[in-house]
Structure 1
Amino acid sequence: MSRIISGIVGGVPLAAVPGSATRPTTDRVKEALFSRLDALGMIARARVLDLYAGSGALGVEAASRGASTVELVESEAKAAQACERNARTVNDAVSRRAVTVHRSKVSSFLERVPPGPHWDLVLMDPPYPLGEDPLAAVLGAVADRLAPDGLVVVERSARSPEPSWPDGLVRYGDRKYGETRLWFAEPAADGREAADGEGGSAVAGARA
């Protein structure tokens, strides 16, 4: 059973999605991801968006660790219900509505949000069968709604190619964990080249 790893509700089991409609991020990958995000200062007080949320495990982990607001976007009915249960666990613990759930397709949700710096951290765990072109279209919409010092994390199969980054995003690095690869990207700036995966980026001090 997956759990919230750390923070105000650390150790609490997560409500799972019945059946096999989603592919949950393993606790090993989640722990490695959030250790890195903590080191980058990307969680505390951040506005977080969790796309293709599944059970909401990534978003509620961010909320438990001190994110200011978290939005979970999931279209599948049973998964959205699990999101609601897990959001309620965190919201009850912090005595406010830190986590909100949107039952919606990702593309439709993003279309309803006007361009602007809405989120500091965007977590994306799309279904592995999702094609590269639809993924690129979502990344383009995300780029138009990301804060200037924001960060995007995309979880993909280790056998999938690097995502096609839109003009508004540049690769910051990647990490491989077994069959999973995490891709990190940040807002593009004039003259900035893709990082080698080890740093030098402005995001390292974004919320220091």
Structure 2
Amino acid sequence: MTLHIIGGSAKGRRLFSPPDHNTRPTAARVRESLFNILQDIIEGSHFLDLFCGAGAVGIEALSRGALHATFVDQQADALDLVRRNLRLCKMEGQADLARLELPGKLSRLTTPYHIVFADPPYALPCQEQLLRALCTHRLLCPDAIVVVESGKKAVLPDSVESLARKDTRTYGDSVLHFYS
């Protein structure tokens, strides 16, 4: 799959893609729809990209005006790929990377975020734990938006702690769940 940035300062930039087929990057049409929805709040935001893979979603956020992005993945090779992509887009100074077991080690993050995007493997049913951890560890700014990508068959809760699902959008086999 060819990855490229869809909008903003790095529009059209081709990113390095994961070499294996176990990583499922968020499709371009899903990213485009996501950022069309977030366009009014992305500017100046702190963005958290969980299960970041190649980093396309977080880099797209930076390209569209996010002030800073934190990329988190459990795999060292994924974070190496994010580093390469950040360097390619000249965005290294706007990002932090963390190798953490998710959702269990989210407590190691300390910054509150305006926007959180989480794209766990579809076979890993950790969405509720993830939402709970974001609230428990106070990683959300007031009025934060959390977007969780899942497969069509996944059942996500309507609410967890202070978060309530406000919207759901389906794109083929992918579903975006919006919480705030």
Question: Normalising by the residue count of structure 1, what TM-score does the alignment of the two structures yield?
Answer: 0.80
CA offset at residue 109 of structure 1? 4.0
Match of residue 147 from structure 1: 141
Contact 1:87 1:101 in 2 (8 A): no
Trace 1:5-154 onto structure 2 (pairs within 5 A).
5-38=6-39, 41-90=40-89, 92=90, 97-114=93-110, 118-131=112-125, 134-143=126-135, 144-154=138-148
Which protein shows a greater Rg?
1
Gaps of 5+ in 1: 187-208
In structure 2, what is the Cα distance between the partners aligned to 1:87 and 1:9?
11
In structure 1, what is the Cα distance between the partners aligned to 2:17 and 2:145?
27
Gaps of 5+ in 2: none
Contact 1:140 1:165 in 2 (8 A): no
Contact 2:158 2:165 in 1 (8 A): no
CA offset at residue 161 of structure 1? 1.2
Aligned residue pair count: 177
User: RMSD between aligned alpha carbons?
Assistant: 1.6
CA offset at residue 164 of structure 1? 5.8
In structure 1, what is the Cα distance between the partners aligned to 2:104 and 2:85?
23
In structure 2, what is the Cα distance between the partners aligned to 1:45 and 1:126?
25
Which stretch shifts more, 146-155 or 16-25? 16-25
In structure 1, what is the Cα distance between the partners aligned to 2:156 and 2:108?
27
Residues 108 and 167 (structure 1), Cα distance of their counterparts in 2 relative to 1, 3 Å cut: closer
CA offset at residue 75 of structure 1? 1.4
Match of residue 153 from structure 2: 159
AA aligned to 2:6 is: I
SS in 2 for 1:97: helix
CA offset at residue 14 of structure 1? 1.0
In structure 2, what is the Cα distance between the partners aligned to 1:127 and 1:172?
22
In structure 2, what is the Cα distance between the partners aligned to 1:160 and 1:34?
23
Contact 1:136 1:164 in 2 (8 A): no
CA offset at residue 107 of structure 1? 2.8
Tell me the alpha carbon deviations over residues 68-104 of structure 1, each in whole angstroms, 9 at most, x when there is no partner: 10000011122111111112233x2x5x611222122
Residues 21 and 77 (structure 1), Cα distance of their counterparts in 2 relative to 1, 3 Å cut: farther
Question: Normalising by the residue count of structure 2, what TM-score does the alignment of the two structures yield?
Answer: 0.92
In structure 2, what is the Cα distance between the partners aligned to 1:112 and 1:2?
30
Give the share of equivalent positions with the same residue, in percent. Answer: 35
